């Protein structure tokens, strides 16, 4: 079965970019988290940028709680504050994101949703050079995914 996501970790920029494609279900999100936490370059303190544009997030409110319980267990040993940004382009993504937003603070996550890459990377970092690099990385990764 083909993965619905692609993980790219950029240690020099302390950011993880995760791109999703097709119909993304809860199982895909759990598989992604398992793979990310097992990745040799993973660092709990890195910001994460999710790019859901062009995908369809299929889930139910109860499934978000299951996903959050998994994250809570994985993050239980970390007190590091982490920024998580999501690029979205659909109402279903926005709905599920709002549920996640309400729960994220309880596990020390700062979560925001964005419609466009520019404000998204500006929120992740104030460093303009880093913003330019991140915009390029997102664009390149999106081209490779399609």
Q: Which domain, by its residues, includes 52?
A: 5-145
The pTM assigned to this predicted structure is 0.86
- The pLDDT, as a whole number, for residue 80 is 65
- The pLDDT, as a whole number, for residue 68 is 78
Beta bridge mates, 127: none
Q: Kindly give the confidence (pLDDT) of every residue in the chain, 146 residues in length, as a single tens digit, with 9 standing for 90 and above.
A: 688 899 999 999 899 999 998 898 888 888 888 999 899 999 988 999 999 998 887 776 667 778 778 877 777 666 566 789 999 998 878 887 887 777 777 777 888 999 999 999 999 999 999 999 999 988 888 887 66
* CA distance linking residue 94 with residue 133, whole number of Å: 26
Total structural domains within the chain: 1
Query: Which CATH number belongs to the domain containing residue 72 in this structure?
Result: 3.30.750
């Amino acid at each position: 079965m083909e993965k619905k996501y692609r993980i790219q970790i950029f240690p020099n920029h302390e950011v993880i970019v995760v791109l999703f494609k097709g119909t993304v279900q809860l199982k895909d999100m759990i598989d992604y988290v398992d793979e990310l936490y097992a990745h040799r370059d993973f660092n709990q303190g890195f910001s994460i940028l999710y790019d859901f544009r062009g995908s369809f997030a299929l889930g139910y409110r109860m499934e978000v709680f299951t996903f959050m319980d998994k994250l809570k267990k994985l993050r239980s040993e970390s007190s590091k504050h982490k920024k998580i940004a999501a690029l979205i382009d659909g109402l279903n993504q926005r709905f599920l994101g709002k549920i996640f937003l309400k729960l994220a603070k309880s596990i020390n996550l700062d979560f925001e949703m964005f419609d466009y890459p520019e404000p998204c990377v500006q929120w992740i970092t104030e460093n303009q050079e880093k913003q330019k690099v991140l915009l390029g990385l997102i664009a390149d990764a999106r081209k490779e995914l399609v």
